Amino acid sequence: MLELREVTKNYGGLRSLDSVNLHAEAEMITGLIGPNGAGKTTMINCISGLDHPTSGEIIFDGHSIERTPAHRITGYGLARTYQNIRLFNQMSVLENLIVAQHSDGRATLVEALFFLPSHLREYRQQRERAFELLERFHLMNVKDAPAGSLPYGDQRRLEMARALATNPKMILLDEPTAGMNPIETHELGEHILQMKEDGLTILVIEHDMSLISQVCDEVYVLNFGVIIANDTVENIKQNEEVIVAYLGRED
């Protein structure tokens, strides 16, 4: 579904990603772990089109996307969340979910001007889809509140709902449990597994090994921009290099 070939990203003199190769199998959950500053967010930015790699290829669902603008990548069916939550804070929860369905819409300004039925129908459909997501992520009772006023856990879930609203085939989650307690983390893991059930491909970046153990089929380990290991969760936990680079730091 997603493949990175020899992807390198330089910021000035700093090499954030160094010949990274990665393959995320369709309808599987791939994990990406690594210490702070390893280049995980940089990788997601390059995949989702907010940034472009210095060299290398990124192939998503048959499209070569390393130079494609972000909105087009979304149109191909790739969605993401952000490490530091980035909701449209002044919009209501419902509006956040409606604006995310932009690519699926066709209605033009002219149709809106003359109240054409196509415009109204499309808006009604988008509302319905938004309500489904509100229901699923337990956000119904806050649907009219400004997104910025929500408690932290709700914001995390809204961000995930918003990513799903773009109607993706694959979703990239950047540290989705940052700042959550173990119970909330586990609950979020359930949501992620549910998405897999629904046929979504998932790449999840994490710090927290418990979520990785809970959901991942395969794990990549990134350290200083280099992939140092790629294996199942159990094997990764045994891997010497990984323990030194990353897990060892935790205890």
Partner 1 sequence: MEFIFDLLTPYGITENTFQNMLIAAILGISIYITLYAGLFSLANAGFMATGAYVSVILTTRYEWDFLLAVGAGIIAAGLISAIISVPVLRLSDIYLAIATIGFGEILVVLLRNFDRIYELIVNKEETITGGATGIKGIPVITTTEYLLLYLGIVVFLMVRLHRSRFGRALVAIRQDNKVAANMGINVVYYQNMAFILGAMIAGGAGALHGHLNRIILPENYGFDRAVDILTFAVLGGTTTIIGPIVGGFIIAYLPEILRRTDLVGLLGDIFGTDLGRYQANVRDMTVGMILLGVIVFLPQGIASPAMWRRVANRIWNLFNPAEKSDA
Partner 2 sequence: MATHQNSLEWRASVREIRNRLKVLTERYPIIANVLIIVLSALLGYFIPYLAAEPIFRTEFNNPEQNFILMLARAGWYSMFALGYALVFSILGLLNLAHGAVYMAGAFAGLWITANQDLPIEYALPAGMLAGGLIGILVDWVAFLPLRARNAPRTSQLISSIGASIFLVNLAFILFIDQFNAPVNRFPAEKVNSIRAFQGTVPIERIEVFGLTLIDQLDYTVFPMQVTMFVVAIVMLIFLQFVIAHSKIGKAMRVVAYNPKVAQLLGINVSLIFAVTFFLSGAFAGAAGVLQGMFRVVGPFMGSEVGLIGLTVIVLGGMRSIPGAVVGSFIIANLQIATIAMGYSWLEEAVVFLALFLMLLIRPQGILGEPLQDRA
Ligand X SMILES: Nc1ncnc2c1ncn2[C@@H]1O[C@H](COP(=O)(O)OP(=O)(O)O)[C@@H](O)[C@H]1O
Binding residues (CB under 5 A) for Mg ion: these are 41, 83
Number of residues binding to partner 1, judged by CB under 8 A: 33
Residues 6+ apart with CB under 8 A from 204: 29, 30, 31, 32, 172, 173, 176, 192, 211, 212, 215, 216
Among 3, 18, 27, 95, binds partner 1 (CB under 8 A): 95
In the chain, alpha helices (H): 40-48, 70-76, 93-99, 109-113, 117-136, 152-165, 182-197, 209-215, 233-238, 240-242, 248-250
User: Considering the rule CB under 8 A, would residue 220 count as an interface residue with partner 1?
Assistant: no
**Dmax of the chain from CA atoms?**
66
Site string for partner 1, 106-145 (x = CB under 8 A): -xxx-xxx-----x--x-----------------------
Sign of the Cα pseudo-torsion (233, 238, 241, 247, in order)? positive
Binds 36, which of partner 2, Mg ion, ligand X, none (CB < 5 to 8 A, cut-off by type)? ligand X
With binding defined as CB under 8 A, does residue 166 bind partner 1? Answer: yes
Check if the beta carbon of residue 206 is closer than 8 Å to that of residue 33.
yes
Query: For residues 170 and 60, is the Cβ–Cβ distance under 8 A?
Result: yes
Would you say 98 or 236 has its CB closer to partner 1?
98
Q: What is the sign of the dihedral through the CA atoms of 238, 241, 247 and 248?
A: positive
**Which of ligand X, partner 2, Mg ion, none does 163 bind, CB closer than 5 to 8 A by kind?**
none
Q: 11 touches which of ligand X, partner 1, Mg ion, none (CB within 5 to 8 A by kind)?
A: ligand X
Q: What angle, 0 to 180 degrees and rounded to 10, lies between the N-to-C axes of helices 117-136 and 152-165?
A: 140
Q: Nearer Cβ to Mg ion, position 205 or 216?
A: 205
- Is residue 239 a contact point for partner 2 (CB under 8 A)? no
Stretch that binds ligand X, among 10-18, 20-28, 118-126, 229-237 (CB under 6 A): 10-18
Considering the complex, what minimum distance in angstroms separates the CB of residue 69 from partner 1? Answer: 7
| Smallest separation, CB 50 to partner 2 (Å) | 4
The site for partner 2 (CB under 8 A) is made up of 45, 50-51, 55
